[in-house]
A = this chain, B = another copy of it.
Amino acid sequence: MTVTLINVFEVPPEQLDDFVAGWRQRAAIMAGKPGFQDTRLHRAVSADARFTLVNVAHWDSEEALAAAQASPEFRQNVPAAARAAANPAVYTVVAEFTRDTPNV
Protein backbone atom coordinates (compact mmCIF):
# COMPACT_ATOMS: atom_id res chain seq x y z
CA MET A 1 0.00 0.00 0.00
CA THR A 2 1.35 3.42 -0.93
CA VAL A 3 2.62 5.43 2.02
CA THR A 4 3.44 9.12 2.19
CA LEU A 5 6.64 10.36 3.77
CA ILE A 6 6.29 13.95 4.93
CA ASN A 7 9.42 15.68 6.16
CA VAL A 8 8.92 19.09 7.75
CA PHE A 9 12.18 21.07 7.83
CA GLU A 10 13.03 24.00 10.05
CA VAL A 11 15.88 25.60 8.09
CA PRO A 12 17.01 29.21 8.68
CA PRO A 13 16.43 31.43 5.62
CA GLU A 14 20.15 32.03 5.02
CA GLN A 15 20.79 28.27 4.78
CA LEU A 16 17.92 27.47 2.40
CA ASP A 17 19.81 27.42 -0.90
CA ASP A 18 22.57 25.15 0.41
CA PHE A 19 20.01 22.88 2.03
CA VAL A 20 18.04 22.51 -1.22
CA ALA A 21 21.26 21.61 -3.09
CA GLY A 22 22.03 18.87 -0.55
CA TRP A 23 18.45 17.64 -0.62
CA ARG A 24 18.64 17.20 -4.40
CA GLN A 25 21.67 14.93 -4.02
CA ARG A 26 19.90 12.78 -1.43
CA ALA A 27 16.68 12.70 -3.46
CA ALA A 28 18.59 11.49 -6.53
CA ILE A 29 19.91 8.57 -4.46
CA MET A 30 16.45 7.72 -3.12
CA ALA A 31 14.89 7.95 -6.60
CA GLY A 32 16.97 4.94 -7.63
CA LYS A 33 15.80 2.71 -4.77
CA PRO A 34 13.16 -0.03 -5.10
CA GLY A 35 9.66 1.15 -4.20
CA PHE A 36 10.27 4.85 -4.83
CA GLN A 37 7.37 6.65 -6.53
CA ASP A 38 7.96 10.39 -6.34
CA THR A 39 9.19 13.21 -4.10
CA ARG A 40 8.54 16.96 -4.13
CA LEU A 41 10.35 19.57 -2.07
CA HIS A 42 8.15 22.58 -1.26
CA ARG A 43 9.53 25.97 -0.25
CA ALA A 44 7.44 28.50 1.64
CA VAL A 45 6.57 31.61 -0.36
CA SER A 46 6.81 33.79 2.76
CA ALA A 47 10.14 34.12 4.58
CA ASP A 48 8.13 34.29 7.83
CA ALA A 49 6.83 30.74 7.55
CA ARG A 50 7.65 28.55 10.54
CA PHE A 51 8.36 25.54 8.35
CA THR A 52 10.43 26.79 5.45
CA LEU A 53 10.70 23.51 3.51
CA VAL A 54 8.40 20.49 3.36
CA ASN A 55 9.12 17.30 1.42
CA VAL A 56 6.20 15.07 0.37
CA ALA A 57 7.23 11.69 -1.05
CA HIS A 58 5.36 8.52 -1.99
CA TRP A 59 6.68 4.97 -1.66
CA ASP A 60 5.23 1.57 -2.47
CA SER A 61 5.39 0.51 1.21
CA GLU A 62 6.82 1.41 4.61
CA GLU A 63 9.28 -1.46 4.22
CA ALA A 64 10.66 -0.12 0.93
CA LEU A 65 11.07 3.34 2.45
CA ALA A 66 12.80 1.99 5.55
CA ALA A 67 15.20 -0.09 3.45
CA ALA A 68 16.14 2.95 1.35
CA GLN A 69 16.64 5.12 4.45
CA ALA A 70 18.88 2.43 5.97
CA SER A 71 21.16 2.21 2.93
CA PRO A 72 24.74 3.36 3.61
CA GLU A 73 24.72 5.37 0.38
CA PHE A 74 21.87 7.51 1.71
CA ARG A 75 23.02 7.72 5.32
CA GLN A 76 26.46 8.96 4.36
CA ASN A 77 24.86 11.84 2.48
CA VAL A 78 22.85 13.25 5.40
CA PRO A 79 24.95 15.84 7.23
CA ALA A 80 24.26 16.49 10.91
CA ALA A 81 22.69 19.89 10.18
CA ALA A 82 20.17 18.30 7.80
CA ARG A 83 19.34 15.61 10.32
CA ALA A 84 18.76 18.22 13.04
CA ALA A 85 16.43 20.27 10.83
CA ALA A 86 14.31 17.30 9.75
CA ASN A 87 11.02 15.97 11.16
CA PRO A 88 10.24 12.92 9.01
CA ALA A 89 7.19 10.72 9.58
CA VAL A 90 5.14 8.22 7.60
CA TYR A 91 1.52 9.12 6.86
CA THR A 92 -1.60 7.70 5.27
CA VAL A 93 -4.40 9.72 3.64
CA VAL A 94 -7.46 9.84 5.92
CA ALA A 95 -9.62 12.35 4.00
CA GLU A 96 -9.53 13.64 0.44
CA PHE A 97 -11.48 16.06 -1.75
CA THR A 98 -10.81 16.80 -5.39
CA ARG A 99 -12.37 19.24 -7.85
CA ASP A 100 -13.83 16.42 -9.94
CA THR A 101 -15.06 14.22 -7.10
CA PRO A 102 -15.87 16.67 -4.32
CA ASN A 103 -16.66 14.17 -1.58
CA VAL A 104 -14.38 11.14 -1.60
A72 at the B interface (CB under 8 A): no
- A41: CB under 8 A from chain B? yes
Distance A46 CA – B46 CA, assembled complex (angstroms): 30
Within the complex, the shortest CB–CB distance from A69 to chain B, in Å, comes to: 14
* Contacting pair B92 A24 (CB below 8 A): no
Q: Check A74 for interface membership: any CB of B closer than 8 A.
A: no
Question: What are 30 A-B pairs with beta-carbon distances under 8 A?
Answer: A8-B51, A20-B94, A20-B95, A23-B95, A24-B95, A27-B95, A31-B98, A31-B99, A31-B103, A36-B97, A38-B97, A39-B97, A39-B98, A40-B93, A40-B95, A41-B95, A41-B96, A42-B92, A42-B93, A43-B93, A43-B94, A44-B89, A44-B91, A45-B62, A45-B91, A46-B89, A49-B89, A50-B87, A54-B91, A56-B56
